[in-house]
Amino acid sequence: MRVVEKMLLRRRAGRTDTLTYLLASACALIVFLVCSILYGTRSDNPSLPTLVKEVLPAGRCLCQYSTVFTCDTCLDCAASQSAFYENATNHNIGSEEERWVFQYSRDSHNYGLDEDQCHVAFPGLFEDIERAKNQRTVLGKVTERLLSSFNLSKGMVRAMIYNGELYVLQTYLVDNVNRQKALAVLASLHRAITSAPVQAPIENVEFVFSVEDLPAQPNKPIWTLARRAQDTSLWLIPDFGFWSWDMPDLGTFSEVADEARQRETVEPWDSKRERLVWRGKISFAPKLRRALLDAARGKSWSDVGQVAWSTPNYKDQFLGPVDQCGYMFIAHAEGRSYSGALKYRQLCRSVIVSHKLQWIQHHHYLMRATGPLQNYVEVERDFSDLNNVMQDLLAHPEKAKRIADNSVQTFRERYLTPAAEACYWRELVKKWKEVSFDPVLYDGVEIGDGRLKRTQKRGVRYETFMLYEYPKQMEYPKSAEMSPAIGP
């Protein structure tokens, strides 16, 4: 692999040359990769052959990076990424009047980029949508019957977009956290719909999404926050935190991003502490997170500790997401499933040190653990190589700085912007429509002897649903009938 990389670098002079070479290698590698990955992901063998292990976490294409999962659009991904790379290294080619390019300062908060702009700005962002769609093409379209064939489990909402408006059809929310997450997801989808360019109307779609960390019914076509490689029926959505999360020092995601930028002006790279920071709750993933604590214990480079809410001075140990930016290195560990903290960590100009991830979120395809575009550092799931990795980073500050800069360029200034979030939602709706049914706004209601007498509008508009009181939102529509109506 190393040799191939070096050759690639040398040959970068000729662009067509590089592309052809890349595509050819990609083709040959894909057969090898698919076989290795199939074996690697299915095998129960604790010690995989070295060769298989090597391609598992970090194949040639971005799609295989970091997480152990397969990717059906690898070739497209490789091609567009290499084009992106070319563009990134040749800022000066062409003028901006000739072709539109994404500019962070101008476009990051633009929720209304059109489809072409979305694709130019965010190559590789739509990988999982493409994967899920292809999977659905094989399995057959999502029908109304399929969507109605399972009951909602806790944290799920059935909803619909009709004539560009968002409707809530059914909810099963069990507590206030569930409710807040569901509202946040609905709100950010609603924002993406209402900001869509007028010339490209949003399709009518019906869907079920879940806000639980762990997918309760991973074999159903449900929109979820994260999935494992084997959960091929699931479709990924941006997590509720992109709208907002009501915790100290959080708030809307773009607020935290602005805060991180602000902090950087007073706390630039050179003034950061040369230590690895981590705060979190051990109990969310005891084995994994304890391994991190063990690996960091007593090391001169470590500021790794758990948040113990019960101790009197927990406020001193607590570090807000932006406070973590004060460190050059930030550790990341998965929680019950994925950890929502990753996206905040990626807002810092710091080096993310993460174990090999199992859970995939919509933006994970953009993570790279090697090469000139490396934007995080990957360690083993048991953190056995953490000390060596830290020693290496401390000995090569210029490399650490480059990884941190790449992370900012890739995530804070591109794939985690509000513009990217809105683009992702609209692409999701569009591709879901290609493999699912046409929803109806009116349902037949049987009255009396069973003959169809009248029709009834389904669900409630999001604008109205968000005004409902707490109990009414929980198990809609059942809970709405039970709560007393507010009279005029």
Ligand X SMILES: *[C@@H]1O[C@H](CO)[C@@H](O)[C@H](O)[C@H]1NC(C)=O
Residue 129 CB, nearest distance to ligand X (Å)?
Answer: 17
Q: Which is nearer to ligand X, 40 or 123 (CB)?
A: 123
Q: Which is nearer to ligand X, 77 or 379 (CB)?
A: 77
Q: Which is nearer to ligand X, 170 or 204 (CB)?
A: 170
| CA 86/CA 136 separation, integer angstroms | 33
Residue 290 CB, nearest distance to ligand X (Å)?
Answer: 37
Residue 102 CB, nearest distance to ligand X (Å)?
Answer: 8
User: Contact 71/77 with Cβ under 8 angstroms?
Assistant: yes
Residue 59 CB, nearest distance to ligand X (Å)?
Answer: 20
Tokens of 347: 């807002």
**Residue by residue, what is the 3-state secondary structure of the chain?**
CHHHHHHHHHHHHCHHHHHHHHHHHHHHHHHHHHHHHHHHHHCCCCCCCHHHHHHCCCCCCHHHCCCCCCCCCHHHHHHHHHHHHHHHHCCCCCCCCCCCCCCHHHHCCCCCCCHHHHHHHCCCCCHHHHHHHHHHHHHCCECHHHHHCCCCCCCEEEEEEECCEEEEEEEECCCHHHHHHHHHHHHHHHHHHHCCCCCCCCCCEEEEEECCCCCCCCCCCCEECCECCCCCCCEECCCHHHCCECCCCCECHHHHHHHHHHHHHHCCHHHCEEEEEECCCHHHCHHHHHHHHHHHCCCCCEEECCCCCCCCCHHHHCCCCCHHHHEEEEEECCCCCCCCHHHHHCCCCCEEEEECCCCECCCHHHCCCCCCCCCCEEECCCCCCHHHHHHHHHHCHHHHHHHHHHHHHHHHHHHCCHHHHHHHHHHHHHHHHHCECCCCCEEEEEECCCEEEEEEECCEEHHHHCCCCHHHHHCCCHHHHHCCCCCC
Residue 80 CB, nearest distance to ligand X (Å)?
Answer: 5
Q: Which is nearer to ligand X, 217 or 354 (CB)?
A: 217
Q: Which is nearer to ligand X, 94 or 201 (CB)?
A: 94
Which residues is 455 bridged to in the sheet?
A: 444
Q: Which is nearer to ligand X, 32 or 85 (CB)?
A: 85
Angle, vertex CA 111, rays to CA 244 and CA 231, nearest 5:
65
Residue 31 CB, nearest distance to ligand X (Å)?
Answer: 26
Q: Which is nearer to ligand X, 231 or 475 (CB)?
A: 475
Q: Which is nearer to ligand X, 59 or 123 (CB)?
A: 123
Residue 83 CB, nearest distance to ligand X (Å)?
Answer: 4
Residue 151 CB, nearest distance to ligand X (Å)?
Answer: 4
Q: Which is nearer to ligand X, 101 or 229 (CB)?
A: 101
Binding site for ligand X (CB under 6 A): 80, 83-84, 87, 93-94, 120, 123, 150-151
Residue 88 CB, nearest distance to ligand X (Å)?
Answer: 8
Q: Which is nearer to ligand X, 421 or 475 (CB)?
A: 475
